[in-house]
Amino acid sequence: MSTGAVVGTARTAQQGRDAFRTWLRAQSLPVTNQRLAIAEVVIGSADHLSAEEVAAQLDTHGEKAGTATVYRTLDLLVKSGLVVERDFGEGFRRFEAARDVPHHEHLLCTVCGAVQEFRDERLERMTTIIAESHDFARHRHRLVIQGVCGACRRGATGTDRAR
């Protein structure tokens, strides 16, 4: 039985940048330094980033991109298949690098916003059993458990929390 954290194969930031450049050219879209920098931030991160977090990370790397450019580029990254969009019901979207991982669920801390991925075979079996008991052919499901992470429950500072 597999339970716990999700592990998968991910691209490096540079590989993501190169793959996005190739995809943009194949679509006859402009390849700009801003687009490539945004791709590098998202694909090189293990986190589930909001557009605002992407913009903040660009700033820390000395890159500048307007809000509209960040959002448009994130949409292109999703369209390219290099990035996955997540909506955890927080009122904004988050983005994570597409990885070769099995289906997984998310734990969302409502205090600090940390997102933790997990996979549990028991849950996978249960969703199939529930669907079949209602004469329903399940294709996929999504589960986000909202609560308070251990670091917040212990009163840890922001630097002690993983995002």
CA distances, 100 to each of 9, 39, 82 (Å):
5, 18, 11
Please state whether beta strands 3-4 and 115-120 pair in parallel, antiparallel, or not at all (unpaired).
antiparallel
How does the average pLDDT of the chain come out, rounded? 84
The whole-angstrom separation of Cα 162 and Cα 79 is: 28
Structural domain boundaries in the chain: 9-97, 105-160
Q: How would CATH label the architecture of 9-97? A: Orthogonal Bundle (1.10)
* 105-160 homologous superfamily: Ferric-uptake regulator, C-terminal dimerisarion domain (3.30.1490.190)
Give the residue, 141 or 80, on which the prediction is more confident: 80
The whole-angstrom separation of Cα 152 and Cα 111 is: 7
pTM equals 0.66
**What are the pLDDT digits (tens) for 23-62?**
999 999 999 999 999 999 999 888 889 999 999 999 998 8
**What are the pLDDT digits (tens) for 70-104?**
999 999 999 999 998 888 778 899 998 887 666 77
Position 126, amino acid: M
